[in-house]
Amino acid sequence: MNAFEIIEREIIKYPKTVVIGHIQPDGDCIGASLGLKYLIEENYGISPIVVNQPIARFGFLGSWNLPGSVDYSDAFVIQVDNSARERSADPSFMAAPSILKIDHHIVMDSYGHENIEELLSSCCEIIASHAIRRKLKIGADAARCLYAGMVTDTGRFSYPSVDSSTLRTAATLLDTGFDLSFLISKINERSMDSVNFIIHAYSQLRVSPGGVLYMYITQDVIDRYHLTPDMVSEALSCMRDIKGYPIFVLFADLNGKIRVEFRSDRIKINQVAVEFGGGGHAFACGARLDDASRIPDVVKELEKYIP
Ligand SMILES: [Mn+2]
């Protein structure tokens, strides 16, 4: 089923349409929610409300409302880039009478009344490919947002999830004429705090006896460099591409818990994330720990997957 077939049908049944992303938004989350908003405005003449948590670095793509500001009791909700209902930017969306889930993660929770679940490289790729197949008008604003999500969720079109149809979809978006080099320079822009944090992060690299590369970023470091969760995640780039270490994991303090981000070079590790109460993709997934004492357990479990 084409996502826009569902949207066209549901959008006229309810007084409002709301597009929502996930907690700790990233480029795909913001790109998918704003890209969808622009597509709906342009093609159906209805202006959806977008709800997301704050993230300054993607503010140039557009604006949105904060969680808690919307009554969902009469809304058609489109939840994007989010595999589990409790990870929504605003979990109270479950009160809505009509919910469409559009997501590209491994399916754990089909919480929508309708669910578009495809294992593509980004949620933006799903939205863009459905819009293209439905022959929608795609303007430069929508295209810029969707391209931003595609380029950031694929490590600049370098992850195994990228195939030729990903690039054909991106090419169609590029044909709308948005300024690509401006977009990429905005995406790459970083603060001096984040540069200093990366310098520090390299000094925190650890290798377990079984060969798992890991790092633990504590709250005092997060405070010292004024880091948001997405800035902390950039420490993953310090561990990627180091020869001989195909599995790496970032631990970071977050609101009294430990956020865990698992990555691998083509080794399926998402089962470990599930074992620790998380989920995600085969080679990129996440979980939460109650406290730092469990870090060695996670590392030990990952060691079993080292070839
Ligand atoms: Mn995504």
For residue 153, the number of C-alpha atoms closer than 13 Å in the C-beta half-sphere is: 33
Q: Supply the pLDDT for residue 205.
A: 97
Confidence of residue 143 (pLDDT cuts 50, 70, 90): very high
The residues near 146 (Cβ < 8 Å, ≥ 6 apart) are 31, 32, 35, 124, 125, 127, 128, 173
Q: Kindly give the interhelix angle for 140-153 and 123-133, rounded to the nearest 10 degrees.
A: 140
| pLDDT, tens digit, 9 for 90 and up, residues 14-30 | 999 999 999 999 999 99
State the distance from the centre of ligand 1 to the C-alpha of 42, rounded, in angstroms. 24
Separation between Cα atoms, residue 254 and residue 229, nearest integer Å:
8
Two structure tokens written together for 167: 């690039």
State the distance from the centre of ligand 1 to the C-alpha of 209, rounded, in angstroms. 32
State the distance from the centre of ligand 1 to the C-alpha of 122, rounded, in angstroms. 5
Separation between Cα atoms, residue 38 and residue 42, nearest integer Å:
6
| Average pLDDT value over all residues in the chain | 97
Strand order of the β-sheet with 114-117 is 49-51, 16-20, 75-80, 98-103, 114-117
Separation between Cα atoms, residue 198 and residue 24, nearest integer Å:
20
State the distance from the centre of ligand 1 to the C-alpha of 210, rounded, in angstroms. 30
Domains of the chain by residue range: 3-187, 192-303
8 Å CB contact between 67 and 8: no
C-beta atoms surrounding 284 within 10 Å = 19
State the distance from the centre of ligand 1 to the C-alpha of 136, rounded, in angstroms. 22
pTM of the model: 0.90
Superfamily name and number for 3-187: inorganic pyrophosphatase (n-terminal core) (3.90.1640.10)
User: Could you tell me the sign of the dihedral formed by the alpha carbons of 182, 185, 187, 193, in that order?
Assistant: negative
State the distance from the centre of ligand 1 to the C-alpha of 15, rounded, in angstroms. 28
State the distance from the centre of ligand 1 to the C-alpha of 3, rounded, in angstroms. 17
Q: Supply the pLDDT for residue 208.
A: 98
State the distance from the centre of ligand 1 to the C-alpha of 127, rounded, in angstroms. 12
Cβ < 5 A residues, ion ligand 1: 28, 81, 123, 153
* 89-105 average pLDDT score: 98
State the distance from the centre of ligand 1 to the C-alpha of 83, rounded, in angstroms. 10
State the distance from the centre of ligand 1 to the C-alpha of 249, rounded, in angstroms. 18
The residues near 218 (Cβ < 8 Å, ≥ 6 apart) are 252, 253
The residues near 13 (Cβ < 8 Å, ≥ 6 apart) are 76, 98
| pLDDT, tens digit, 9 for 90 and up, residues 288-303 | 999 999 999 999 999 9
Confidence of residue 307 (pLDDT cuts 50, 70, 90): very high
Q: Supply the pLDDT for residue 36.
A: 98
User: How much of the chain, in percent, has pLDDT values that exceed 90?
Assistant: 96
Confidence of residue 105 (pLDDT cuts 50, 70, 90): very high
State the distance from the centre of ligand 1 to the C-alpha of 237, rounded, in angstroms. 17
State the distance from the centre of ligand 1 to the C-alpha of 95, rounded, in angstroms. 24
Helix (H) or strand (E) holding 151: helix 140-153
State the distance from the centre of ligand 1 to the C-alpha of 87, rounded, in angstroms. 13
Torsion of CA 274, 161, 61, 278, to 10 degrees: 0
Q: Which of 15, 73, 27 is nearest to 52 (CA)?
A: 27
State the distance from the centre of ligand 1 to the C-alpha of 32, rounded, in angstroms. 9
* 40-51 average pLDDT score: 98
Separation between Cα atoms, residue 143 and residue 145, nearest integer Å:
5
8 Å CB contact between 260 and 286: yes
Confidence of residue 214 (pLDDT cuts 50, 70, 90): very high
* 152-156 average pLDDT score: 96
Q: Supply the pLDDT for residue 162.
A: 97
> For the domain bounded by 192-303, which CATH number is listed?
3.10.310.30
**DSSP 8-state class, residue 234:** T
State the distance from the centre of ligand 1 to the C-alpha of 104, rounded, in angstroms. 7
